[in-house]
A and B are shown apart, each in its own frame.
Chain A
Amino acid sequence: MTEKSKKRITMVREHPRHVPLSRKNPDGLTIVDQHPRRLKGTYLDSVEIESVFEGYDRKNLVWPKAGILKKYKNADKYDEIIAIWTDYFNKKFDVNPPLDPDAVKALIASESGFRLDPLENKVAFGIAQITKGTLKILQDPAGEAKEFTFDKIRQKDLRDPSIAIPMAARWLFRKRDTAESKLGRAPNAEELILEYKGLLKSRSQYKEKALKKFREDYAALKKK
């Protein structure tokens, strides 16, 4: 494989662009600043997300365990979305050990209780409680998640689990990297979820209690 084909983004040089005549642009030209451009296969927009989901090969897919988190309404409703996007990003990033779909399911249980749009939070949105900051990073072709980004996803789109879940799964792979650099080793499922919540190094009472609850749900899902 050539070096060129591994590139995720390319820089577009400063260039002129024809625009309608206006007071600001009386000569019908404007200068477009240098900017990064995403290359095909390195990002997803809402149309592409739908297309990947519809056409995904479901053979040999690893599903999160169903019928366990009975006290959550809709606990199993999003299993297919979780399974497909966990598998998609496991293949995309090829990490070992792979991301466990049960960990994604337990994370969603703790973040929203499988509610599509918890209303009582002004800074995080949707079933996976993605923050404004994370949404921005996930769409920045020059940012910390530039290896694989999303495009044209609006804050209100996070209410849609078919968009929020793939974004959360992708963010978990970024959090895997940041947790690994903090720990000096690959994080386990608990550490990964704490890093997603921004609490990996926290010494708060809340962290210990939240971890215990995540551990219980995750253990229930892993129980044979």
Chain B
Amino acid sequence: MRHLRKNEYVAVCLGLLSFGCATSSYRVLFQDESAAELSVSPDRIRLQCEDLYDADIKGLYGFMMHVLDGENKVTTLIQGNTFDKGSCENRLKGIGKVLREGKKIYIAGRGDLNSVDEKSREEYTFPGKGTFRSGGRILNFVAISNEHGLCYDAYSGFREQPCPPEPFPFWNAAKKSSP
């Protein structure tokens, strides 16, 4: 437990704080064997900066985004490079802004959504929804956007143009087709 507490120094769920009455939704907009794009409501997203206290380099943090899917299993998007505490916290703030200001969230990730790690047993709590087990699905985080176009890129934050970067145009098509 001590290990868990230490690692969970920051875990932000912005879900029901501002979207208590919004419809909870999860939809796969696109997937093939190397990429996926999701459309979810903000209450299904939880952000985490894990304190990698036992790493060789002191002060490292690993960024992860946990998404509750339609079968109530958790898919995790990770950032491949690690951060210092301040950079990871800035990331939480930036993505938090995307979540606060939107009701429909688009997420792009690299990897195969059908690739499942059966050994994965972690559990994650989504305030107002409950605690759910990982489905063992892991993607590399590419970008997150809301329906207003506020888009946060994994490597350039709000500065990336276009966002999401090529070749991830899929959710733009989804936005145009949705009412």
Contacts and interface: CB of A to CB of B under 8 A. Distances in A.
Interface of A: 69-73, 109-113, 115, 118-124, 129, 131, 133, 195, 197-207, 209-210, 212-214, 216, 220
Given A112-B81, A119-B157, A121-B81, A206 B50 contact: yes
Given A120-B87, A204-B50, A210 B56 contact: no
28 contacts: A71-B35, A71-B110, A73-B167, A109-B80, A110-B80, A112-B80, A113-B154, A115-B156, A119-B159, A120-B91, A120-B155, A122-B84, A123-B84, A124-B81, A131-B57, A197-B55, A198-B52, A198-B56, A199-B52, A199-B56, A201-B54, A202-B55, A206-B62, A209-B64, A209-B78, A210-B62, A210-B80, A216-B115
A207 B157 contact: no
Given A70-B167, A71-B35, A123 B52 contact: no
B157 A120 contact: yes
B83 A123 contact: yes
Interface in B23-58: 34-35, 50, 52, 54-57
B71 interface: no
Interface string B68-83: 0000000010101111
A202 B52 contact: yes
Contact of B52 (A118, A131, A207): A207
Q: Which 5 A-B pairs have the closest CB atoms?
A: A206-B62, A110-B80, A118-B155, A198-B56, A198-B57
The range of chain B's interface size is: 35 or more
A155 B141 CA distance: 26
A10 B128 CA distance: 66
Interface in B128-159: 138-140, 142, 154-157, 159
B56 A111 contact: no
A120 B167 CA distance: 21
A209 B156 contact: no
A111 B138 CA distance: 16
